Structure 1
């Protein structure tokens, strides 16, 4: 998932407010698609580059006037400081999220460029606002007043978190350091956006002849067949597993893996070096030993020491199983190749192939055959039906929606007959579209004087696109991914608080709210309710499903090491950076592999960090996938106990956890849901490491 903008912006938007003599504000042109009434959907199909520029210009100009009005206030109240602050924050975040869609997903180069410039302009504004000393003094003056000190509940929490944002945004710095802070933030934003552009604009392909394509399924080959009989396979997320798990030729697997790990390397390795250095400077400027310390201060983990303890503890727990997994694969390799005495390590480009061949041999599992039971339309309908039933919601598909690309679909969310949200699904790859999987909010729920602004969100995916001869067919992994990302969507749809500033949970808890839903794909009653062979209509066979469950913890130690290796990498570059001895981001992969002692996962001459979006745009985030999953698996024990379709448990989960946002301490909310303090027993068991 990617929330690099929203999770950062909410800590920086310390704005506010107005008085009775408020200067008249600018208005957008009536024909600008962004000029909407409350809860009126934006007509994305009509948006042009000029609309984006005009929209952001109006928002920024009006914000500047609002700031002047705040500073001029004499009689301070909660409503004209922090509540008004939240209203303006809402407008700015909405603007940022909606123009960012076009930067990352528009098929038109002019709107992409306008979206990028608008995002960067707003980024500069966010930095300036967070470091505005006069604005801060006004807000702090109210906080120190008798009325401010008497605040309770959500109002007190909103005030406290708003002021906390200043501690992350340079307001205490002297003039020289403040100028440096603003300069660093601007440069970091520009570098991260440029790296994203480099990742999205690549056109890397692998061309194979019939012999080289041996092992690939006929359906897969037909999707990428050339007129001369060969195959041109795009090196994108949707093709990784089909090629790396099935291509018989080790040379083909090496060629694909090398191309994938070198996407944007000619530009992004240097960009990453700059990002690491500038973020380190920023962290130290703000009084921390590292950027990680600066970034983690308001997360659940609080500081790098706790993250290191957490990761090292998991490494210790996972290592014995990972070593066992390697030996199992070596034995399988040697038996398959009839080389019983071969003690050589497994090459990294062969790892997924051996794992897949082991599943085929030991459990009669062929994911390419399993795909045939998971056509996207059926999976999507089954998943939506489940979420509606479990959480007491209704999703209504909108006919002929106004969207940014013809592939995008739109749904309205209803609860008890009342519309409570809206979401968009952008599921298939195309040129110049972001190549990842994530969910992102577009508007955040908030109470206004004229009504409640319902949340809206988008799910971006890169699943295999349907062709004239067959539908999009999901692998087991992709089905799990779909359930995961849509879990973020229902989390966003569930929020019902009055303030935007309390909408989003801590970064290292956010993934858990969707990771929990991955468990539903491991239940046969759930799967069999929608999984049908796309040609014959046969229900997903129970024997095949049982074999999937038996194989769940095959290579679970190695799978855990995949996440740990990346979490260690992310945490290292942003916590252990020494400007006197700048680390080599290529060598670091080898250093971590050596330290873990499992196997060398790095292919010589490759730079996988160049196209890893998290470390460019969402630094010090990756450990959070593991941290969150501890909560996810523990919360899932309630559904295991009461039933995976139990609406009462689902509604309780929606009310206490999903709808909460950050209005209430996350640990407290989880403890009430479970009826006890949380623990990691279910998580360790889920990895097969107990």
Structure 2
């Protein structure tokens, strides 16, 4: 059977006029099709996948059904994977739209695959040869169950219709955020305090006013530094309403569809339906966990707000009893207080973390810890800013993966930070992975939060790049959703500790100033300040998610948000609609947002294995082998126990909330 690797697919597409090339690339690379090419190929590629499905059902692809399903998984990923990323990063709106419109057609295909009774019988009858195949078989059987294989035909058809409708809603929801384009006019006086390089990049409207965009390299410095509370409020309100009222309607629709889907399977709610596939296992485990977080954060949150209120009163000369901390004040007051108390100036930190040096540090750090090396290569991409690095194993010199880096903001691009596992590994076929990292960083240098973001996302990229999973569908970040953030959250720590920050200075060279031990200690103290507010915010997000998928007390998603955010000390701000821009809830984190904190429990516990040596290559090698390499071939708790040599605990996580870690 011919294997549908990306290189083979690229050649096939080239012959059809999709990619202009004369020979197969030396390394697998992502196609960059136009809108017309996507539209022309979409239905043909779907037909090819359905034809392969029919051959597998009949036993004509591979006598080993596990290998046959692996072939099908790769075929689908080769076409849909590049389209998912192109839909989020292409500079051409028509191309983004074409990619979005094609990718939603793959949702009913997946349901069709796992509603196939003939295929189900083949998988169920198959005899796994070892532990890896046993896990893979169970994953496939779970997918059949989740797609309704045991349901009556009418219900199965409704499951497929709901799946397709939710995919369309998610596409529209994300597009509305990505292309919101809201801008806020401001005067030069209102921008007083904002770093001059940020101001210099702002365009002007016909009235000569400066136009503030909501991309993070603009938004964050203004919210942290602009002294005008009026401007901060306008910019904050605009950010809180990204996506608009249309997205509130879409979120309500998808919430109702999820509830209907749960009912078709006989579950009381969507959380009960989906949590059975996660580490938590059931809604009670999640609500108990969130209750413990709330207990740990509530008093600290109030203390943080009291400190900010006192600082605001002192700064602006207002009576304490008449001073109120608003949500648009928090970043500004925290930044100013940290500068005064800890001598931490986020903008001044950019000279310590130049953007290019930060990327080199990220790569050199990964090379040191994990026994790999990177080589930058030139291949066709969707934008001139995009960089591609090939990854090699140091000992064997074997090619492992390619990683695409799309680091800077531009109009129409996905406006947060994420990694797309566009092409996953399959050791069974010699297939190599291609993760794509997308951020919106400041070109002029990073503050510590941005350096953490860069390392966080690269942690995801490494999870995909260093995977050695046998089957494509179990590779890299294809792990339980409440574990997937753990490797990336752990990697953030290398942006904070003295040893790796000294290593940063070595990588950066003589042009970089060096943070002293005392400065690093002050940075750590500043980071600990505000932990109550930070984790309380995560509690709000996770609780809101559970309100939509489990509690079901509220008429609309906005009502749920008002109730939950309104229960916090800072309250709900009338007129805002944060859920309209909460893309996580349509992008795979429904009944799963708690997973960020659940994963952090494991991340901070795994970190303990490094002890006082953050560049320990022996521990890094064990981490690569035991945590990153297996992907979903073993349950996460087994991976963590094997790495730590004991069962995990939450001590470090709750110490982090209390500021005592």
What band does the TM-score fall into relative to the shorter chain? over 0.9
Change (3 A) 1:98 1:377: same
Secondary structure of 1:424's partner? strand
State the 1:594 CA deviation: 4.3
Secondary structure of 1:422's partner? strand
State the 1:419 CA deviation: 0.6
Of stretches 370-379 and 181-190 in structure 1, the one that deviates more from structure 2 is: 370-379
Aligned equivalent of 2:19, options 33, 37, 43: 33
Secondary structure of 1:395's partner? strand
Partner of 1:8: none
Partner of 1:194: 172
Matched, 1:267 2:267: no
Partner of 2:459: 487
- Asked if the contact 1:44–1:404 (Cα under 8 Å) also holds between the matched residues in 2, the reply is no
Secondary structure of 2:390's partner? strand
Alignment of 1:182-331 (within 5 A): 182-224=160-202, 226=204, 230-331=209-310
Structure 1 unaligned segments of length 5 or more: list them: 1-15, 19-25, 467-471
Partner of 1:609: 579
Partner of 2:377: 398
Secondary structure of 2:193's partner? coil
- Asked if the contact 2:30–2:82 (Cα under 8 Å) also holds between the matched residues in 1, the reply is no
Partner of 1:4: none
Aligned equivalent of 1:72, options 58, 66, 74: 58
Alignment of 1:335-374 (within 5 A): 335-342=314-321, 345-374=324-353
Partner of 2:355: 376
Distance, in Å, in 2 between the alignment partners of 1:645 and 1:439 is: 24
After superposition, give the CA deviation of every residue in 1:113-145 in whole Å (9 maximum; x if it has no partner).
2211210111221122122223223322x24xx
Partner of 2:597: 626
After superposition, give the CA deviation of every residue in 1:573-601 in whole Å (9 maximum; x if it has no partner).
111226xxx52322323311344x4321x
After superposition, give the CA deviation of every residue in 1:321-376 in whole Å (9 maximum; x if it has no partner).
11221222222222323344416542111122221221112112111111232221
Matched, 1:117 2:101: yes
Matched, 1:42 2:29: yes
State the 1:473 CA deviation: 1.8
- Asked if the contact 1:38–1:453 (Cα under 8 Å) also holds between the matched residues in 2, the reply is no
How many matched pairs?
644
State the 1:63 CA deviation: 2.5
Change (3 A) 1:276 1:561: same
Aligned equivalent of 1:139, options 123, 127, 137: 123
- Asked if the contact 1:569–1:592 (Cα under 8 Å) also holds between the matched residues in 2, the reply is yes
Partner of 1:636: 607
- Asked if the contact 2:271–2:283 (Cα under 8 Å) also holds between the matched residues in 1, the reply is yes
Distance, in Å, in 2 between the alignment partners of 1:603 and 1:594 is: 8
- TM score, norm. by length of structure 2: 0.92
- Asked if the contact 1:459–1:489 (Cα under 8 Å) also holds between the matched residues in 2, the reply is yes
Distance, in Å, in 1 between the alignment partners of 2:593 and 2:217 is: 21
Change (3 A) 1:635 1:134: same
Distance, in Å, in 1 between the alignment partners of 2:487 and 2:155 is: 38
State the 1:677 CA deviation: 0.9
Distance, in Å, in 1 between the alignment partners of 2:634 and 2:188 is: 58
Alignment of 1:563-602 (within 5 A): 563-577=538-552, 583-595=555-567, 597-600=568-571, 602=572
Matched, 1:672 2:642: yes
Distance, in Å, in 2 between the alignment partners of 1:620 and 1:631 is: 19
State the 1:297 CA deviation: 1.4
Distance, in Å, in 1 between the alignment partners of 2:479 and 2:183 is: 39
- TM score, norm. by length of structure 1: 0.88
Distance, in Å, in 1 between the alignment partners of 2:558 and 2:97 is: 31
Of stretches 524-533 and 429-438 in structure 1, the one that deviates more from structure 2 is: 524-533
Distance, in Å, in 1 between the alignment partners of 2:59 and 2:565 is: 58
Distance, in Å, in 1 between the alignment partners of 2:237 and 2:364 is: 40
Change (3 A) 1:590 1:63: closer
- Asked if the contact 1:17–1:66 (Cα under 8 Å) also holds between the matched residues in 2, the reply is no
- Asked if the contact 1:397–1:412 (Cα under 8 Å) also holds between the matched residues in 2, the reply is yes
Secondary structure of 1:162's partner? helix
- Asked if the contact 1:410–1:422 (Cα under 8 Å) also holds between the matched residues in 2, the reply is yes
- Asked if the contact 2:296–2:658 (Cα under 8 Å) also holds between the matched residues in 1, the reply is no
- Asked if the contact 1:359–1:366 (Cα under 8 Å) also holds between the matched residues in 2, the reply is yes
After superposition, give the CA deviation of every residue in 1:16-57 in whole Å (9 maximum; x if it has no partner).
999xxxxxxx96562433999697433634x22343345443
State the 1:665 CA deviation: 2.1
After superposition, give the CA deviation of every residue in 1:267-307 in whole Å (9 maximum; x if it has no partner).
11111111111111112112211111122111111111111
Distance, in Å, in 1 between the alignment partners of 2:160 and 2:528 is: 48
Partner of 1:515: 489
Of stretches 80-89 and 510-519 in structure 1, the one that deviates more from structure 2 is: 80-89
Aligned equivalent of 2:472, options 500, 504, 516: 500
Partner of 1:407: 385
Distance, in Å, in 1 between the alignment partners of 2:64 and 2:504 is: 52
Secondary structure of 1:453's partner? coil
Aligned equivalent of 1:553, options 522, 528, 531: 528
